[in-house]
């Protein structure tokens, strides 16, 4: 599977989870707790395959350096909000507000990746190189999934 397809599949999964969680109310304690744990673990693995394989490769090219640097920062922002949500009781009225801010940030990040970043990637890499990169990413993903109990 080529690198961009690997990432797109993860993104679709995250988007679905975000929408499902947004519709929950403070009464759905278990759904929120479980959903958040799943999001956290999926996201951590996704960020690892990007930060350890995809971004460094892309950053070697001057054309994509700025967008990659921005993406690292966006991961940081999302992770910070995510940690804050984790420390907020799911029945607290601010939970949904924090969640919404995190969702918007994450959706924006995903859109930027699938737009400008993926477009640049297609220009810079041959299909065979993307295929190879995708294989490496899937292998790392598998290794991380077996290590993470929540995955």
* Contacts with Fe ion, residue ranges (CB under 5 A): 50, 113
**Cβ of residue 112: shortest distance to Fe ion, in angstroms?**
9
Q: Which residues contact 98 (CB under 8 A, 6 or more apart)?
A: 81, 84, 85, 88
Question: Which residue lies nearer to Fe ion by CB, 42 or 113?
Answer: 113
Q: 29 vs 66, which CB is nearer to Fe ion?
A: 66
Q: Minimum Å distance from CB 81 to Fe ion? A: 15
With H, G, I as helix, E, B as strand and everything else as coil, classify residue 86. helix
Residue 32 vs 42, nearer CB to Fe ion: 42
CA separation for the pair 48, 20 (Å, rounded)? 24
Q: Which is nearer to Fe ion, 2 or 50 (CB)?
A: 50
How far is it, in rounded angstroms, from Cα 55 to Cα 14? Answer: 19
Q: How far apart are CA 106 and CA 15, in angstroms?
A: 9
Shortest approach of Fe ion to residue 14 CB, angstroms? 8
Q: What is the CA radius of gyration of the chain?
A: 16
């Amino acid at each position: 599977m080529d690198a961009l397809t690997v990432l797109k599949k993860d993104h679709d999964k995250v988007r679905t989870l975000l929408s499902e969680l947004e519709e929950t109310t403070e009464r759905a304690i278990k759904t929120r707790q479980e959903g958040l744990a799943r999001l956290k673990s999926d996201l951590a693995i996704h960020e690892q395959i990007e930060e350890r394989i995809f971004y460094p490769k892309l950053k070697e090219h001057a054309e994509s350096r700025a967008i990659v640097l921005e993406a690292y920062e966006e991961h940081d922002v999302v992770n910070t909000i995510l940690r804050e949500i984790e420390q907020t009781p799911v029945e607290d009225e601010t939970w949904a507000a924090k969640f919404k801010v995190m969702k918007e940030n994450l959706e924006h990040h995903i859109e930027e990746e699938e737009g400008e970043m993926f477009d640049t990637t297609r220009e810079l890499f041959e299909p065979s190189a993307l295929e190879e990169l995708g294989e490496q990413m899937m292998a790392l993903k598998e290794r991380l999934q077996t290590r993470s109990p929540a995955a």
